[in-house]
């Protein structure tokens, strides 16, 4: 795949679709459109010299195939002590939609072998203390009544937990109450590899990829198109600035999406802000440790800590090599992108979102307190958090890596007050000519349903025509996946490196 398209954009260029950002969202939308409208001209603009270098990069995210099998923040406890699984069910359904689309692309040859980007990795939840053990038991009993979570296992026996993940209980105080749940159908996903493979497929089908090209501005033309001003960032650029006109624009630029949507001037973006959060992980490639831990194990965040602070000890498979990773440890940078400008946060401030930003800040003083605590914590204090999961952990085996930037969505609620959202959100213009995606987790895991939602909102007339083909590719679309008879045919392909891991829970 070339570093840029052979013919640089000119003022006369007109295309059907411009995808801004070379991450999993743009790649997913491009793949959907290539199937649904193969004749459309599509172009991808990426400001860096390769795709999947920001949030989609495998070391900038945890690689968890988010299906709510282990994440406690998706199953909050109500005031009466009962467990609300509404969000868990929704996220599980959304991840199934993503897996079914990947399965379709695999069976048609659009993607190579699934082992190159996904592996079966059990998802576990591990808690300590009598109160947390009781909470996990009630969560388990509630979830397992739902068909999507019927395989979930629970144990408060250290011997059983040792069989699942021995590093969690080795040399742990025998008097400390512990409990765990396990779902063996969990997955680890290298979203960087998946993004690259999707883009490779798109380029092979005629999509133009412009690397080291940054969209600097967007302006609506009189005929309803969008004129993009593009800067060639390469050192030997034959022409620094050019323009292209597109009938539809998707801004999938991660933390860079909000400034571009603001530049477009669409009223739907008014009131939105973003709060950037950076992070760190501890990582080891020690063969001895890796061999003893084959799971993604999520714990419970400390009281008052935000959802993104949930600690987890994960198996990670990147470029065929297995690692363990623990974190996250939060940090702060005003950048909206890991490889972006330090003024990102400040240049996004507008009169229409200043109230939202201030209001959300006042409502989330616990987040501020958490970030300050994390920034002031010593390396020894941070390592103690890992030892809470893995009592035998030793600093000599671990290194610190910097994760990607996350920009949490800030918007106005029904009362016009600023609120901080811990999810992803599609913003689309009323005429459907431009849309963008803001937010973080579960992010990449729900890329396919997010982009299908975008298509329905931006192309309502065409979507009626597309629906039958989408339903063929994604059997559970529009219905509960456990009720889709078509899924029964997916279980003939089994194993961690086979298509079953992608398209079915069997």
Give the whole-angstrom CA distance, residue 445 versus residue 190.
11
For residue 482, pLDDT over 60 is answered with no
pLDDT of residue 363: 62
Spacing of C-alpha 337 from chain mean position: 15
Give the whole-angstrom CA distance, residue 355 versus residue 413.
12
pTM of the model: 0.88
pLDDT of residue 493: 27
Give the whole-angstrom CA distance, residue 492 versus residue 184.
18
- The tens digit of pLDDT for each residue in 16-41 reads 999 999 999 999 999 999 999 999 99
Select from 403, 391, 502, 444 the least CA-distant residue to 126: 391
pLDDT of residue 223: 92
Give the whole-angstrom CA distance, residue 459 versus residue 410.
26
- The tens digit of pLDDT for each residue in 196-225 reads 999 999 999 999 999 999 999 999 999 999
Banded pLDDT at 277 (limits 50, 70, 90): confident
Percentage, residues of the chain above pLDDT 90: 61
pLDDT of residue 501: 57
H-helix or E-strand spanning residue 439: strand 434-439
Give the whole-angstrom CA distance, residue 90 versus residue 428.
22
pLDDT of residue 491: 35
**111 DSSP 8-state letter:** S
Select from 47, 37, 48 the least CA-distant residue to 15: 37
Mean pLDDT of 267-280: 78
Say which CATH superfamily domain 11-450 falls into.
FAD/NAD(P)-binding domain (3.50.50.60)
- The tens digit of pLDDT for each residue in 465-478 reads 999 999 999 998 86
Could you tell me which residue, 239 or 366, shows the higher pLDDT? 239
pLDDT of residue 477: 82
H-helix or E-strand spanning residue 193: helix 191-204
Select from 33, 56, 28, 49 the least CA-distant residue to 255: 56
Identify whether the C-beta of residue 281 lies closer than 8 Å to the C-beta of residue 328: yes
Which tokens belong to 400?
């610190």
Identify whether the C-beta of residue 45 lies closer than 8 Å to the C-beta of residue 21: yes
Give the whole-angstrom CA distance, residue 387 versus residue 311.
12
Which tokens belong to 422?
């811990």
Identify whether the C-beta of residue 31 lies closer than 8 Å to the C-beta of residue 380: no
Banded pLDDT at 433 (limits 50, 70, 90): very high
- The tens digit of pLDDT for each residue in 316-356 reads 999 889 999 998 877 677 766 666 676 665 566 565 655 56
Which tokens belong to 57?
């990069």
Select from 198, 254, 252, 230 the least CA-distant residue to 428: 252
- Ramachandran class of 216: left when φ > 0, alpha when ψ lies in -120 to 50, beta otherwise: alpha
The total of other beta-carbon atoms located within 10 Å of residue 245's CB is 19
Identify whether the C-beta of residue 394 lies closer than 8 Å to the C-beta of residue 211: no
Give the whole-angstrom CA distance, residue 127 versus residue 178.
6
- Give the list of residues 6+ apart from residue 406 with CB closer than 8 angstroms, or none: 55, 255, 276, 277, 278, 279, 308, 440, 441
For residue 298, pLDDT over 60 is answered with yes
Which tokens belong to 301?
């965040």
Give the whole-angstrom CA distance, residue 40 versus residue 43.
10
Strand partners, 83: 77
pLDDT of residue 422: 64
For residue 239, pLDDT over 90 is answered with no
Strand partners, 331: 278
Average pLDDT of the residues of the chain: 85
């Amino acid at each position: 795949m070339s570093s840029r398209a052979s013919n640089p954009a000119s003022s006369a260029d007109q295309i059907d679709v411009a995808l801004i950002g070379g991450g999993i969202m743009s790649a997913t939308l491009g793949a959907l459109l290539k199937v649904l409208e193969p004749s459309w001209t599509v172009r991808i603009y990426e400001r860096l010299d390769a795709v999947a270098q920001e949030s989609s990069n495998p070391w900038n995210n945890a690689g968890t195939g988010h299906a709510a099998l282990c994440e406690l923040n998706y199953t909050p406890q109500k005031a009466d002590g009962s467990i609300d699984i509404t969000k868990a069910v929704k996220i599980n359904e959304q991840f199934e939609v993503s897996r079914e689309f990947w399965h379709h692309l695999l069976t048609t040859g659009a993607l190579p072998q699934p082992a190159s980007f996904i592996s079966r990795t059990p998802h576990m939840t591990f808690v300590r203390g009598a109160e947390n053990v009781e909470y996990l038991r009630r969560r388990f009993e509630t979830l397992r009544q739902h068909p999507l979570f019927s395989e979930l296992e629970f144990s408060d026996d250290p011997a059983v937990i040792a069989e699942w993940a021995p590093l969690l209980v080795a040399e742990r105080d025998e008097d400390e109450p512990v409990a765990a749940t396990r779902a063996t159908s969990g997955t680890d996903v290298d979203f960087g590899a998946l993004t690259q493979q999707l883009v490779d497929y798109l380029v092979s089908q005629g999509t133009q990829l412009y690397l080291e090209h940054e969209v600097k501005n967007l302006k609506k033309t009189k005929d309803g198109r969008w004129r993009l001003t593009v800067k060639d960032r390469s050192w030997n650029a034959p022409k620094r600035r050019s323009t292209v006109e597109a009938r539809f624009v998707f801004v999938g630029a991660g933390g860079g999406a909000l400034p571009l949507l603001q530049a477009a001037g669409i009223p739907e973006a008014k009131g939105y802000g973003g709060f950037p959060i950076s992070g760190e992980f501890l990582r080891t490639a020690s063969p001895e440790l890796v061999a003893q831990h084959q799971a993604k194990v999520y714990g419970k965040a400390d009281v008052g800590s935000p959802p993104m602070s949930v600690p987890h000890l994960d198996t990670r498979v990147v470029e065929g090599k297995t690692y363990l990773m623990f974190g996250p440890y939060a940090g702060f940078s005003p950048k909206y992108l890991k490889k972006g400008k330090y003024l990102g946060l400040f240049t996004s401030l507008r009169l229409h979102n200043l109230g939202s930003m201030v209001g959300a800040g006042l409502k989330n003083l616990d987040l501020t307190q958490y970030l300050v605590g994390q920034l002031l914590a010593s390396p020894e204090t941070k390592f103690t958090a890992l030892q809470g999961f893995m009592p035998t952990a030793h600093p000599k085996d671990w290194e610190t890596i910097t994760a990607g930037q996350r920009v949490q969505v800030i918007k106005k609620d029904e009362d016009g007050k600023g609120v901080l959202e811990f999810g992803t959100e599609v913003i689309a213009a009323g005429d459907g000519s431009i849309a963008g995606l803001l937010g973080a987790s579960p992010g990449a895991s729900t890329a396919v349903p997010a982009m299908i939602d975008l298509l329905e909102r931006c192309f309502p007339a065409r979507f009626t025509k597309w629906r039958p083909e989408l339903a063929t590719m994604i059997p559970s679309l529009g219905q509960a996946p456990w009720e889709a008879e078509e899924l029964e045919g997916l279980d003939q392909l089994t194993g961690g490196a086979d298509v079953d891991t992608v398209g079915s829970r069997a």
